[in-house]
Structure 1
Amino acid sequence: MDAFLLALILTFLIALGGREQMIIAQFSSATDRNVPLLIIGVACAIATAAVMAYAGSTMAEILPRRAAEMLVAFALIAGAVELAWPVKIKPMKEPTRSYVAIGAVLIFRQMQDAARFAIFALAAWAVFPTTALLGGVIASVAAVVLGWSLGAETLRKMPLRTIRLVFAFCMGIAGAVIGLNARFQFL
């Protein structure tokens, strides 16, 4: 249950203002919030969350306990770096209507975003990684639906950059503490 709640809350909060959410919002605004775009976004969110949860749990199973803790620390620090990186989405001159192209872009962006690194880390940490997967999937879908429903203009008005920097700092500290604990075993 802990992994489910942590994955649910953290993945949603970390995904706020992320590249994938901004891309969905931009396409949603340009295409008058059509439902196939939402379906593609939800399918991509489910697929990438499942891949990262599976990868995290599988890698943690084959590693010794302290090495698995270090893997969690690296994933959190990678997520912190991605969160701190500014999100710059170029305005579209003519949006594509190809859902395959939109899906490919979303999968590429989602596989390298901080929310998926958090799912990876929580699945590697959890006793039952399925709970981290379920929490991550629900939160990822909620973030996509939020971006789709609000649109690009509304998201640009929110202080998402500040929120992302605060979470980047918190994720970096968590990753450093977990990494130091794995190395020196002080907690």
Structure 2
Amino acid sequence: MDTLLLTMIATFVAEIGDRTQLLVALLVVRTARPGPIFAGFAAATVVNCTLSVLVGSFFASVISGHALMMFQALALAFAAIAMLWPRLALDRLDGWRMAPFWLALLGCLVLEFGDKSQFLVIAGAARADLPWIAGLGGAIGIAAATLPAVAFARRIEGWAPLKWLRFAGGIGFAAAAVVIGVGAL
């Protein structure tokens, strides 16, 4: 249960103001079809979290306990840096001509591959007795953070507190990285 909650909360915080969240909001506004957009996003999230669980399971089989703790600290540090770093411009996918489901699926897969949430799920799966629980927690956290982007798509981009929420999340991830990193040493 700890793995589920920790991964869910970590990925939820990591996705606040993330490019994936903003892409989903943009696609909902552009297509006026939130159902297929959210379904495509959800499918991309399941694929991403499944891949993360497989990688995390592999790491668990080849790395010892303290090294896994250090890997988790590095994943948290990466999340902190990504949240504190200025957000890159979002590709609006204007040239992509396809059905809304496929547009969201492929766009989100591209954005999520190598993203901070993926590393958080990998680290959670590597340290868990049941790695799929980390994947489930990650998928729930990512979806929970993105649902408001679907519901409030027209207003999310200009929402000023996103900057401060990202800053607070980055500081929280940095503090957790230091605590876990010191514990691994």
TM-score interval, normalised by the smaller of the two chains: 0.7 to 0.9
What aligned pairs does 1:25-174 form with structure 2 within 5 A after superposition?
A: 25-90=25-90, 92=92, 94=94, 96-99=96-99, 100=102, 102-174=104-176
How far does the alpha carbon of each residue in 1:92-118 deviate from its partner, in whole angstroms, 9 at most, with x for none? Answer: 494644254543331121123222222
What TM-score, normalized by structure 2, do the two folds share? 0.86
Shift of 1:152: 4.5
Which residue number corresponds to residue 6 of structure 1?
A: 6
Contact 1:28 1:149 survives alignment (8 Å) = no
What TM-score, normalized by structure 1, do the two folds share? 0.86
How far does the alpha carbon of each residue in 1:37-56 deviate from its partner, in whole angstroms, 9 at most, with x for none? Answer: 22111100111122122212
Shift of 1:126: 1.9
How far does the alpha carbon of each residue in 1:124-163 deviate from its partner, in whole angstroms, 9 at most, with x for none? Answer: 2222222111111122223333222221533422411111
The code of the aligned residue for 1:41 comes to: F
> How much identity, in percent, do the aligned residues show?
27
- In structure 1, the gaps of 5 or more residues are none
Distance in 2 (CA, whole Å) between partners of 1:161 and 1:93 is 23
Q: Matched residue pairs, number?
A: 183
- In structure 2, the gaps of 5 or more residues are none
Moved more, 13-22 or 110-119: 110-119
The code of the aligned residue for 1:165 comes to: F
Which residue number corresponds to residue 24 of structure 2?
A: 24
Runs of 4+ more than 6 Å apart: none
